[in-house]
Amino acid sequence: MRNKTINSAMCDARNVTEESLAGFDSITINSGILITGERSKALLNRYPVTMNVGTVLEVPDGQDIRVEQINGKGEIGPNADGTGVFLMVNGRLTIANDSLDAAQSYYRIMVNGKIVMPRSYQGQVTNIEVNGSIQYYPDGATILKSDSEIDDLFLVRATNPLYFCPGNLYFLDDGIDIGLLQSKGLRFGARRIVVAKSLLGQVASLVDEESEIIRVPDGTRLVGEDVDLKPKTIRRYGTKLFVRGDVTMQDEEALRALEYLYVDGTLRVDKNLEELFDEVECYYEDLKFFDPSINRIEDRTVVKIGSSMLKNHPAGLIVEDCAKVVLAEDISPEDILEKLHIQDCALVVCSEEQEDSVNLVARDVAMVHVSGREEPRSAASDILKGMLGMDRSERMNTQVINVSEYKM
C-alpha cells in the first residue's frame, strides 16, 4: 500500500495529473493554502485524497496566476504591479500612502499576521484576506519602526509633520525639547503611546485620538528585551522600568530597590517574595508566582520524562510550552500527582494507567493520548498521528514531503 503525505504552507495543485495520483492508494494534503482550478479540483475529488487545508484558492483554468510569498515584513508601494499575482504574506504587510491602485492590481492578497494600511483604504481593497489583524494609520503619515522612542535627535531630523508607529511609541525623556516639537507642528499616531507624566499635557494634544495612552512616572527607562531582574539591572537602567518582554523576579535586593515596573509581557515572581512584591507599583499582561525549588522544562519540541528524572527533582517538575511530552511507563500515577505539573503543551503521551493522573495535573493541554489506543479518524487525528510518528511499516510505504511551497 503506497501513501503520500504533503505538509506545506502552500500547495499548488493546478497542474496535477491523473498519472501522479493513480500511483498512490491514499494522498493526504496538510496545507495552509491549496490552489486549484476546475480541472484539478475534479481530478482530486476522483481519487482518495484527504485535504486538511485552511484556505482553498480556486483559479480559473487557463488564467496565468503566479504565486509570490513573503515570510516576515513586506510592503506594497505606489509603483508595485500585482497584475496576475497571488501574494501570500506570513508576517506583516504594509500598504504605503498613494498605493491603493497598486494594492488593487493584485489578483489576490492573503496575509497571515497583520496588515497596516491608510485609514482611507478601509473597505476599498476587496482582494485582501487577512488571517490576523488590520491596523489603519492616518493618511500621509510616515511609518516608524514597531517600537520607537522620540528624543531630541528624532526631532532635529523630522521632516514630515505626521508619523505613525504600528506598536509602542515612547515619550520618556522628560528633558525633550518641547518647543522644537511644537514649532515643527509634529503629530503622532500609534497603537499605544507611553509618555512620561510631566510631558502628558503637551504630548496628548499632538497624538491621534485613537491611540491608547499610558502614563508612566518621570525617569522611567525603556528595556527592550526579557529581563531577569538583578541589582545590576537597577544599576544600569534605574528604579523605574518599562520592559518590552517578560520579567523574572527572584532577587530580593533588586525588588526592594524597584519603584515602578510595567511589563509588556509575563511577570514571573518568586512566591517567597509575594509580600514584598505587593508593595511595588507594577503593571503586567500576565502574572505568575513560582516556587524556585521546583525545576522547569520549557520551550522544547519533544520532552521525555522518566521516573529517574522525577527522583532527581524531589520538589517537583514543571513542563511548560512544549510541543510533545512523553511519559515513561515506569512513572507511577502517584508520582505524577505529587511531582509533575504540565501546562501549555500541545500533546502528552502516556499509558492507560497514567491517564487519569495526567488529566488532573495537565493545564491548557491540547491533547492527551494513551499509547496504543486507536483514535477516530479526523483532521485532528491526522495531526496527532503526525506528532506521534508513523510505525516502521508505514514509514516504509509512505512518501512524506515537508516543504513551505509544493507544486503537484
Tens of pLDDT along 304-342? 999 888 888 888 889 988 889 999 999 999 999 999 999
- Looking at the predicted structure, is the pLDDT value of residue 395 above 70? no
pLDDT at 391: 53
**Mean pLDDT score of the chain, rounded to an integer?**
87
Confidence of residue 2 (pLDDT cuts 50, 70, 90): confident
Strands (E) located in 218-343: 221-223, 227-229, 240-243, 247-249, 260-270, 281-290, 295-298, 302-305, 317-320, 324-327, 340-343
Per-residue model confidence (pLDDT) at position 392 = 52
Number of C-alpha atoms within 13 angstroms, CB side, residue 344? 9
Model pLDDT, residue 164: 94
The domain limits of the chain are 3-58, 66-137, 142-216, 221-290, 295-388
Q: What is the mean pLDDT of residues 86-111?
A: 93
**Per-residue pLDDT, 111:** 92
* Percentage above 70 pLDDT, the chain: 93
Whether the predicted pLDDT of 404 surpasses 80: no
Per-residue pLDDT at 376: 45
Looking at residue 304, what is its pLDDT? Answer: 93
Distance CA 194, CA 169 (A): 6
**pTM for this model (two decimals):** 0.68
Question: Which pairing describes strands 66-76 and 85-95: parallel, antiparallel, or unpaired?
Answer: parallel
What is the average per-residue pLDDT within 102-114?
Answer: 92
pLDDT in tens, 14-40: 888 888 888 788 888 888 888 888 898
Greatest alpha-carbon span in the chain: 78
